[in-house]
Amino acid sequence: MADGINGPMIIHSPRDPLKRSVDFDHDVVLMLTDWYHNTSSDIVHELLSEAGHIGTPAAPGANSALINGVGEWNCSLATTSQQCKQVSSPPEFTVTAGQRIRFRLINSGVHAMFFYSVDEHMLNITEADSTPIYGPSDFRHIWLHNGQRYSVIVQTKKEDAGRSFHMRATMDSDCWAWIPNDIQDTAFGILRVVNEDTKPEKISKARPKTRGWPQEFPEECLDIDPRMMVPIVKRSVPTSVVGSGRFEAGFGFQFINNPQEHLTRNDAVKIAKALNLDWTRDRNLREKKKFLSESHRTSSRWGGNDVDSSEDTHDSQQESHSLNADSRKRQLNIRRQSPPPFGGRKNSTGVTRLAGPPPTPAGTIGKYFMNNISWAKIPH
């Protein structure tokens, strides 16, 4: 896992075949991140204990998703030990109708595979992990794993001037061993399309009412088929073999006796029950057991009665990120804020188990391992 500050670094090659003002009009970096309510040190410490993290040695699922460090979470789910204040300030981008935007997508998360989409717009994939490509131009969603990078070009329409569209980054929880029941799996951004002569003060601040594309997520946690992507710049492959080798490694999961940690199995079960641990594996049943309905979650995100828009939030929340040439960059004015209030729930909402290793038996801890790593050079 990764805690702390992070950010993108884009190195522009003079040999990049994708040119600004030729292939696209604007260049925007989007970092997609999974957000945990516990630090990595706390989670790892519990994973290496007999009780595990929330009763299991499997890696945890995230609590919410972020776009460029911004996301939302329903504060009504916060416990009495968690501080939370409801705000709603998704990142916004303003573009002139008819222009093309290159979104550089970076999965900066530690566990979640993300699906990215823009309502009512197709995605033209033009770059994969710094390689310019001829890729699919009709994707509704693009998915990327941790550390992967893709560029997609979005073409806006002249007739859409005055409209706003949601951007969505959704974590694929089916790739996890278990899911927090308080999960907010989608982070939102806003793309506002305006006329060229629209003044900033005339741009609508209303939330988009667009609907997302139907979910067409792959059943398995796999990359995009590389056969769908062809490098724009061809590279010759050597025809002569200089040398070859073989790399081998073993990977698995096992229980290890742990004499230093004496927690009985009954105690571990009590901990799991106290956290409302649910071992449901049926996906349809899991959807019914979600803590809040989608309509309630949406109203909490998008300015329902629970949203606090008071002045102690920073000024930039009301300012969209304009992509027009005459836009001005402002230094954020962060005001002194009072501490957020504590939540009202006595217990957490628990988790839903999907797969992964079973709970650890008494007297043991569960660990993943990699061994038998070897490299053999084959002589010619």
The 3-state DSSP class for residue 214 equals coil
Tell me, yes or no, whether 332 lies in a domain.
no
> Is residue 156's pLDDT more than 80?
yes
Residue 243: other Cβ atoms inside 10 A = 8
The number of folded domains in the chain is 1
The pLDDT score that the predictor gives to residue 55 is 74
The 3-state DSSP class for residue 268 equals helix
Tell me, yes or no, whether 210 lies in a domain.
yes
Residue with more model confidence, 22 or 243? 22
The pLDDT score that the predictor gives to residue 5 is 82
In angstroms, the CA 223 to CA 218 distance is: 10
Nearest to 122 by CA among 152, 79, 94: 152
**CATH number, domain at 317?**
2.60.40.420
Stretch among 63-72, 199-208, 302-311 having the lowest mean pLDDT: 302-311
- The tokens of 17 are what? 């075949």
Tell me, yes or no, whether 305 lies in a domain.
yes
Tell me, yes or no, whether 363 lies in a domain.
no
**Whole-Å CA distances, 42 to 39, 232, 275:** 5, 45, 16
Helix/strand number for the chain, H first, E second: 4, 18
Tell me, yes or no, whether 272 lies in a domain.
yes
DSSP letters for 47-76: HTSSS-BTTBSSPPPPSEEEETTB----GG
Q: What would the pLDDT profile of 50-99 be if each residue is shown by its tens digit?
A: 777 877 777 888 999 999 999 888 888 888 888 888 877 899 999 999 99
Residue 312 — very low, low, confident or very high, per pLDDT cuts 50/70/90? very low
Residue 145 — very low, low, confident or very high, per pLDDT cuts 50/70/90? very high
The pLDDT score that the predictor gives to residue 342 is 76
- Residue 87: φ, ψ to 5°: -135, 160
Residue with more model confidence, 355 or 219? 219
Tell me, yes or no, whether 12 lies in a domain.
no
Residue with more model confidence, 58 or 143? 143
> Is residue 127's pLDDT more than 90?
yes
**Whole-model pTM above 0.85?**
no
Give the residue numbers spanning the domain of 155: 26-326+342-357+369-378
- The tokens of 298 are what? 């949406």
Tell me, yes or no, whether 19 lies in a domain.
no
Tell me, yes or no, whether 94 lies in a domain.
yes
What H or E segment, with its residue span, contains residue 251? strand 244-257
